[in-house]
Structure 1
Amino acid sequence: MKALWRTLTLFFASLAFAAAAQAAEPVKVVYHLSEGIPQASRAVQNIRNHLAADPSAKIVVVTHGLGIDFLLEGATNQMEQPFAGAVADLANRGIEFRVCNNTLVSRKIDAAKLVPEAKIVPSGVAEVARLQAREGFVYLRP
């Protein structure tokens, strides 16, 4: 009987430990942008709100197609305000920005025109899929 109690105690203790460890992990979110400046403006605000509610969130922004435009040097929103400051601020808070190389090639955009915070990945859609399937990221599309 003592062995049974010891086994049950260890079992429930391990469950509690596993639950506590899982709760401590940050929520991982991929924001998928492919539609251009208006979507990017919404995304920047959504990410700011997201961080206000959950400062520990791990957020990656993956862009392709027209979604890369806000990560080009000199890009502005609909009110002619530059994106560079917002991108730099978010990057300083741990947000990662990834740009599709396929888009750069097909649109003939030199990678040197990207803001310094942008990281090039081979394929934007493949990166979104990888983050979801292999790294457990939740998908959001603003």
Structure 2
Amino acid sequence: MRREFTKRIAAGMLALAGGLGALAAVPAQAAEQVKVVYHLLEGNNQAVRALGNIRNHLRAAPEDRIVVVAHGEGIRFLIQGARDRDGKPFDEAVAALARQGVEFRVCRNTLTAHDIPVDQLLPQASLVPSGVAEIARLQAKEGFVYLRP
């Protein structure tokens, strides 16, 4: 009986060692993509913060998917010729982030309410019917995490 118990323990330890060896042979998996929606509605000062946050985000997690949704005063940085409080244009920063895969979406309701023609938007910006509805959709239907810089 004691000999049978010892055999079972030995067999179990061999199985465990084999399993651990197999785990060591499995290559590390790539980082899982996180989907994030950045919500902008406060104007150019918030945009400056957001663009910096997004650059830092992509340095740490370049595989993440980032969508910026702007409405209200938050669309101002996506209008051609927009500049920050130091006079630096936004178009270069937006273009650089778009090349890294960041999507910029603008609320059509805001454009209509502020009488801003669509052709005044930067080319990287796409229109959505409603900014708030787009944020809700991204969270509820596509599993995006919400950030408001």
Same fold (TM over 0.5): yes
Q: Specify the code of the residue in structure 1 equivalent to 2:46.
A: Q
Secondary structure at the aligned position of 1:133 is classed as helix
Kindly report structure 1 stretches of 4+ aligned residues shifted beyond 3 Å: 22-25
Over the aligned positions, Cα root-mean-square deviation in angstroms equals 1.7
Gaps of 5+ in 1: 1-21
Larger Rg: 2
Shift of residue 23, structure 1, vs aligned partner:
7.0
Residue 45 of structure 2 is aligned to residue 46 of structure 1:
no
Question: Residues 1-142 of structure 1 correspond to what in structure 2 (within 5 A)?
Answer: 24-142=31-149
Identity across aligned pairs (percent)? 64
Gaps of 5+ in 2: 1-28
TM-score normalized with structure 1 length: 0.83
Question: Which digits, 9 at most, give the CA deviation of each residue in 1:1-26, with x for residues without a partner?
Answer: xxxxxxxxxxxxxxxxxxxxx97541
Shift of residue 78, structure 1, vs aligned partner:
1.1
Q: Specify the code of the residue in structure 1 equivalent to 2:136.
A: A
- Give the distance between the partners of 2:49 and 2:31, measured in 1 at CA: 29
- Give the distance between the partners of 1:138 and 1:93, measured in 2 at CA: 19
- Give the distance between the partners of 1:60 and 1:127, measured in 2 at CA: 10
Kindly tell me: are residues 112 and 40 of structure 1, through their superposed partners in 2, closer, same or farther at Cα, counting changes over 3 Å? same
Contact kept, 8 Å, 2:31 with 2:63, in 1: the verdict is: no
TM-score normalized with structure 2 length: 0.79
Aligned residue pairs total 123
Q: Specify the code of the residue in structure 2 equivalent to 1:33.
A: L
Secondary structure at the aligned position of 1:46 is classed as helix
Secondary structure at the aligned position of 1:60 is classed as strand
- Give the distance between the partners of 2:32 and 2:128, measured in 1 at CA: 25
Q: Which residue of structure 2 aligns with residue 3 of structure 1?
A: none
